[in-house]
Chain A
Amino acid sequence: MNDQDFDGRLRALEDNLPVQPMQFDATMGSSAQRPSRALSAIGVLGVVTASAVLAIAAAELLPRSDGTSSVGLSSPTADPSGQEATLPVAPSYGPRALSCGAGIGGNHPIAEFDIEHASEIPTIFPGMKRNPDLESDPRPAHVVVFGEGFVLPPTAGIGSPPESASSAVCVVHEGGERVLYPNVSLEGFTPPQTSNPGGE
């Protein structure tokens, strides 16, 4: 038996092996129904879910622009008309957008995109102040752009007052490192064609 025959038999063997049904649900970015090995999946899902819950909770707790808070007002039965009100549907954000503050205080990304090198960012945002570190950063990055009225994510723990910025550019590197550039002028910025606002 020569190598070619042998290789053909190996391929036939592999092609006819039984498989178990797919357990991966890409809509969640994780696997389901198989608890034995799903710890990493639970980790991913847990982080995403926890981030979403925290973001939504923060959005509920933070004062609105008119100084009011939505705490205690969004019960489904609180509608004075007596009709059951439906809960608002929270927009879904990817983990990187969430880490940049999406969902907090109504923050909604107007654009999201990946770039080969973070050093390209100043050319994409010609109105941005000069930043030597960024201009020389060769790492790939995911960029999340927020428009007017961006609320800075709290950094001093629960209870710290929210700060506002006119707009912001958030740069997320592989590995999760995040740098937020508040008050970036978006003048001259055109979202790239593959921009993916609000999702990943």
Chain B
Amino acid sequence: LRYGVNRREFDEIILPLYNPLQRRLLMIVRDQDVAADLTQEAFVNAWRAWHSFDGRQPRAWLFQIGVRLALNYLRRQAVWNRVRQQLRPQPEVIPSVEPDLWQALGALRPKERTALLFSVDGYTYREIAGLLGVSSGTVGSLIARARAQLRAAMEMQ
């Protein structure tokens, strides 16, 4: 018999991950409203797919749903955002902790940010590669580039 057929399990296992997912998506998309929207969309998708969840690594399962939504969103919005930012700058999130690091992260490409964050979580290159749809070698390059850029940016400040 398969895991994940009722709502109580979903409430107990997945709902506590709402805020962590929203923060992770905010780190990736850097827009508070978009991160909140994507989080709820991820939860709707997770609920729809709940019957197919195998019971292993719920955080990884949910975050994969959310991160794919975020990267798709960024891909779709890439052109439009360039135009929109010239018309009306988006309200900037100013975190209370590590604002300089937040600023430096903004200079990274979304996949670099994402790869770095999941490597900090302890994900393997192979797992991150599956998440991003790239090769393990590319993941290594993304992470190395992200760390080098961040280090350089922080040393300049």
Contact = CB atoms under 8 A, between A and B. Distances in A.
Do the two shown chains form a genuine complex with each other? yes
Interface of A: 1, 3, 6-7, 9-20, 22-24, 26-27, 29-31, 34, 36-38, 40-41, 44, 112-116, 140, 142, 174, 192, 194, 196, 199-200
Counting from the closest, the 7 A-B pairs by CB-CB distance are: A114-B2, A37-B37, A16-B97, A13-B98, A31-B40, A20-B36, A24-B43
Interface in B104-119: 105, 116-117
A20 to B, nearest CB: 4
Contact of B26 (A17, A44, A194): A17
B5 A194 contact: yes
B78 interface: no
A14 B117 contact: yes
Interface in B1-38: 1-2, 5-7, 10-11, 15, 18-19, 22-24, 26-27, 32-33, 35-38
A30 B44 contact: yes
Contacts of A22: 15, 18-19, 40
Contacts of B36: 19-20, 23, 34
B51 A26 contact: no
A30 B32 CA distance: 20
Interface string B82-107: 00000000000101111001100100
B120 interface: yes
Nearest to B44: A41
A13 B95 contact: yes
11 contacts: A10-B98, A12-B98, A13-B98, A17-B27, A23-B36, A24-B18, A24-B40, A29-B7, A44-B48, A116-B1, A192-B1
